[in-house]
Structures are given as C-alpha cells and as structure tokens.
Structure 1
C-alpha cells in the first residue's frame, strides 16, 4: 500500500467512525466510497498477468572489458486482458528499466541492454520484476517472472610467446632442459624375440658378440604448477585482479602448447575449468606455509609459478625453499611497484615485478632460460 493508500484508509476509518457515531450520513457515504476505492485498487493490483519471459546472454562468457549484451523477450500469454506493466530487470548490482507500457494479449516485446564487464566475476541477470498498480495509485504490488542467467567475466588474457622447457635427469645425474619432450637414448640391453631390428646397435653387438638393442626413453614434457595467492593480506588495490590476469595468461599459453599444467589456490580448491575458477575466486584468509608444504610433498611438476601482490614480497624466501622439489621457481609480484622497495635478488627464485597483466606478459617473455 502506497502512502496515498494509507492516507485514504485512515480517512475512510475516520469518516465512517464520525458518520456513524455522530449521525452524519454524508460523512459515512464518503468513508464507504473510500473503502470501495481501496477494494477496487486491491482487486486491480492482485490480478496477475500471464507472462512468458525469455532471456539470452550473448556471449555468456566474456573477457574483462569485452562487450556482452542481454536480449529480453516478454510475451503476454493471456487471451483477454492487455497488460499495463512497469518492469525492471536485475543486471549485477544494478537494475535496468524495461520499457513495457501496454502489452496486448498474444503479443510480445523484445529489448536489450549491455552487461557491465569492467570487473572480473559473476554477473547475475534476472529475474524480471513486474510492478502492478491501480489507476488511483493506492496499491503497488511487485512480482518476479522468469528465471535467471549468469554472465561470467573472465580475467583478460595477455599473449605469452615463451613457455618453460622441460627438465629431465640424464644418466649422469645432471638436469637437462628438453623443450616439449623428446625421445632420447637411455641404455643397451640384450636382444629378445620381438624386438625391432632397426633398434639393434650393430657396433656394440660386434664388440659383445651378442645382439644388443637400444632402449629409448621418452623424456618428460615441461609440467607447470601455477599457484595463485588469493590471500587478502597478499594484495593491495587491484593487484589481485592483475594476478588473475597473469594466471590466465600463463594457463592459456601452456594449454595452447599442449603442456600439462595445474592451478592451485592458497585459500581454497581450484575445481572446474581454469577460467571459471579464476572468474569466481575472491581474496580470503589462508595459510601459505601449509599450501607450500602440500605442494612440496606432491611434486606435481618441474616448474612452479607463484603469483602474488605487494603483500607477498616477504614470502619469497619461503617460496624459494621449493627449489628442492621444483627445479624452476618463478615468483611474480603484481601491483603498484613504485610505492614499495624492490624485491631482494635471489638465485633460488626468478622474480618478476609488474604493475599489471600486460607488463607481466612482457617481462615473462624476457625471462632467460625458458
């Protein structure tokens, strides 16, 4: 009930009371008329129009800053009455006015509006909220129609030209860099029936007096472990958004090259597609030490990429301790690097400092040893 409706109800009660108590029939008639207006208003507002609502987001997954739009179709499925509506649609934290003035039976109207993609995350769309009122403005009733959809705003991906090289142990115990894996000689053994003759090593066979064949080894491809620091204490300003862009760029480049890669978070579990995980993750409280101990025990790859913000500068020593389990360790400090001291130089960790994701990509391609 609107303020006007509340006022009319109070006036109706007063007029009826005074009219009947003191015997003024004119006042009683006015009170009865006010009550009748309220009853008519309630009946008009309570009528629920039959509406069909269809909503489509194109695209429903988009990189931060790229355009996305929603197309909304409203159809009056009633057979007799036209619907005079005031409609709004939810779009993220805001509402969008939908121009629906009078919709005849069996007709539909289509409208569209852009989706805000300036921030990474999930943008919920809908449901449609219909406001019904009476001609006197006494009653206002809100109802929701249709379902909801979600637009996923992924972090931006900056192209990376370089990818790490694989590391494998040779027979003399040295760590050799092998780009993208290869087949290499491992050892000689005696011939057994079924071995291919093209693998016979004739020079060794002549010396030994028996057929000797070459054993070949498929060296390991480079395997990356991306650890995103999602601790609130590790970031300032938009540094977490920049770290998500750096993670998305590394993951995209690695997947493009067909190399094994895994994504890990300090404060939670990374489940589902990489970009969806990076879209939904938010800074929280977590224990970096426990995460590093878990990754050290699992030894999931040969290259560890640690992405953090200015608040993670003091953790470079702990990250450098991962060199025993991961031959290559790279730490990237994202965010405003002009207000803090430079990261300490160390031979255990390759350190990249970048103000944003684009600068990270340039610094990544400039790292020697990939």
Structure 2
C-alpha cells in the first residue's frame, strides 16, 4: 500500500493546518486539518486489505496479422471465504496498457473479461504482467499487486494475396550438379555404379547386375524442387522507416504464397538472417515469425547480398530482392548463374528502373499492395 501524489499532498496540507491552527489558536483550521488527516487514514485502511484472487489470462490468437484483432481473456476467481471488493486490473503491452474494472466477487465465484490488444505494429510483444490495484474513492491511497504470468503476442506483417512463382526445375537431373540443399522425401536415379562395401542391398540394380555380371547399385540423388528466395535489404538508411515496413509486407506476401504452395522457401536479409524452410503451413509460420522481428541493422555501407548467399553453391530457383530505388545492382551479377529468375522490387519508386545487369528484371512499386499486383502479373 502507498499514498498517491494526491494523498501525499493532502497529508502535508493536513499537518500544516493542524500545526498552524494549534500555533495560531484557530479551531477552524485545526478541525479542517483533522478532517483531512482522517480522510487520508481512512483511505489507507480501506486500501490496505490484501487482494486474494486467482488470475488467469490467455491471448488468442497468439499470432495475428498487423491490424487484425487479438483478444485477451482474463479470468478472475475469488478462492477465499470473504467477499472480494472491486478491483482495477491493468494489463496489455508495456507501452499501451489497458485497465479493466473487476466487479466485486462473492466467495468461490469467477468472472471473465475480454479486451482487445493493440496490433498496429509488427513485432514480438510480451503481454503483462497483470497488475491488480485498488484505490479509494478520492484517489489518496493505492494498493498494487503484480500477478500472473506473461503471454507472448506475435504481430506478423500485413499480407496481400500473391501468386506463387510458376517457374520450377525439371524433376530429373541425370547430368550436372545436384542441389546442395536438396529437399528430402524423394529420390531420383542419377547413375548406376558398381557396388562398394557399405552400400545398402535394397539399392541393388538387378537388371544392370545381370547384364554386366557385376553387382551394381543405384546412385540416387535428391531431385531439384521449385524454390523461392526473398532477400530483404535491411541495411540502416537504405529504406525509410515507412518504406521498410512496406518491404517487409511485400516479403511476407511473397514468402507465404511460395511456402503454402509447397515451394522450398527461404528468407535472407542483408544483416545475415537466413531462414530456410521446406514449404508448407508450418514453414509459412516460421517465416512470418522471423519477419515479425526483422529490423534494420548492420554496418552502414555493407553489401546488400550477404556472404552466406553469395558463397552458396548450386541453383536456387527464383530470387526476389526487395530494396530501395537507389541500390547498386552490380552485386547481383554474381548470382545470375545460380538462379533461374531474378527480380528486384524498388519500393518507393513509382516506375521501373533501368539496370545494366542482364537477366535481372526491376519493378518499381509505391507500396506493398502495388508490388504484389505487379508480381501477380509476372509470376504466372
């Protein structure tokens, strides 16, 4: 229990009136000081009573798109044998708290309250801890109690309906390099070779063995699969804050479409973030979780293409770079032989920008919605 600022001011005023009235012989001042002092003491007594309640809070859904509705459900129970007076409960995000008035509870009863959480910003946020507090009628004293565990709310970027890129790879690659990060779950026959100790018997090629008179086994390799890579320019100052949010929304739209379509999807950032996935709904959620926390970081003047992507071997399917109109695209010349298609979205540029890098298509877009419309025209 503690006095509020108002309570402390009233207490000081009461003491001054009592002292002044006693010293000057003014009974009215003494009486007024006694009334104020009694009011403060009464506020202390009323708020000093303990708050014995059980509190449980859940957040649903725990992952939402920016601007969508996220609701917190608060269950308050009185486990005691005495009536619990009304309380105030402050909850929500740290910088955007919300206060809920808890009505009086009879012994053994429970009440449920719902309130919306702010979802105007993307990110990973802690909801809580819940703070119970009781104040007197005049706001002179307050009793506070932090209770309950914190919950996590992830606000994903806003997504626009996008198409998955239609271009892919052939199912069989009997010649040439195999994919260095191939997906598991299917195998293609790459070659037939002579058996060596350690090979599995189930891979024996009986027809080749009969023709050659030697034990031959299948040399299998994972087939290349359609894959999609989104590279976001996260260098400080490369994009204004508003344009960077549009870039993240664009990346979320394209990656979600690719992952849901079963593409091997990968999120790469200039800061070094690398999130490879094998496609599907779980992959889409992992990518969106990473995008929710993505921020502009890195050394000023750093390369837009991180070393991990530049040094990677093998083919990579389709690459989309999301950056600013003023970016130098010379770095992409090193990736032309590795990707079947390369697109650059210059966010904030109302029109296409010419580039000297052959094999790279540049699209200018004012925002994420405009960029997705352009993508849907070329992705088929």
What range is the shorter-chain TM-score in? 0.7 to 0.9
Counterpart in 1 of 2:282? none
Q: For residues 137-183 of structure 1, what are the alpha-carbon distances to aligned partners after superposition, in whole Å with 9 as ceiling and x for unaligned?
A: 4223444332321221222443423344238976489x9xxxx9973
What SS does the corresponding residue of 1:273 show, helix, strand or coil? helix
Counterpart in 2 of 1:120? 122
Change (3 A) 1:3 1:61: closer
Q: 1:263 aligns with which of 262, 267, 270?
A: 267
Counterpart in 1 of 2:316? 302
Counterpart in 1 of 2:362? 351
Structure 1 length normalisation: TM-score? Answer: 0.76
Q: 1:292 aligns with which of 293, 296, 306?
A: 306
Q: For residues 206-227 of structure 1, what are the alpha-carbon distances to aligned partners after superposition, in whole Å with 9 as ceiling and x for unaligned?
A: xxxx789796653641454432
What SS does the corresponding residue of 2:128 show, helix, strand or coil? strand
CA contact (8 A) 1:190 1:213 kept: yes
Alpha-carbon distance, 1:112 to partner: 1.1
Change (3 A) 1:320 1:329: farther
Counterpart in 1 of 2:72? 70
Match runs of 1:1-370 below 5 Å? 1-2=3-4, 4-21=6-23, 28=30, 31-91=33-93, 93-157=95-159, 158-166=161-169, 171=175, 183=188, 186=191, 195-199=204-208, 218=221, 220-222=223-225, 223-236=227-240, 238-270=242-274, 273-286=286-299, 288-289=302-303, 292-299=306-313, 301-303=315-317, 305-311=319-325, 313-324=326-337, 326-328=338-340, 330-338=342-350, 342-344=353-355, 346-367=357-378
Change (3 A) 1:3 1:105: same
CA contact (8 A) 1:60 1:151 kept: yes
Unaligned runs of 5+ in 2: 276-284
Alpha-carbon distance, 1:277 to partner: 0.8
CA contact (8 A) 1:120 1:155 kept: yes
Cα distance in 2, alignment partners of residues 349 and 105 from structure 1: 71
Structure 2 length normalisation: TM-score? Answer: 0.74
Cα distance in 2, alignment partners of residues 344 and 201 from structure 1: 58
Aligned Cα root-mean-square deviation (Å):
4.2
Cα distance in 2, alignment partners of residues 8 and 215 from structure 1: 90
Counterpart in 1 of 2:278? none
What SS does the corresponding residue of 2:11 show, helix, strand or coil? helix
Change (3 A) 1:68 1:280: same
What SS does the corresponding residue of 1:132 show, helix, strand or coil? strand
Based on CA coordinates, which of the two structures has the bigger radius of gyration?
1
Cα distance in 1, alignment partners of residues 46 and 341 from structure 2: 70
Instruction: Pick which of 181-190 and 246-255 moved more.
Output: 181-190
What SS does the corresponding residue of 1:264 show, helix, strand or coil? strand
Q: For residues 36-89 of structure 1, what are the alpha-carbon distances to aligned partners after superposition, in whole Å with 9 as ceiling and x for unaligned?
A: 432332232232311222111221112334333221122233422432223332
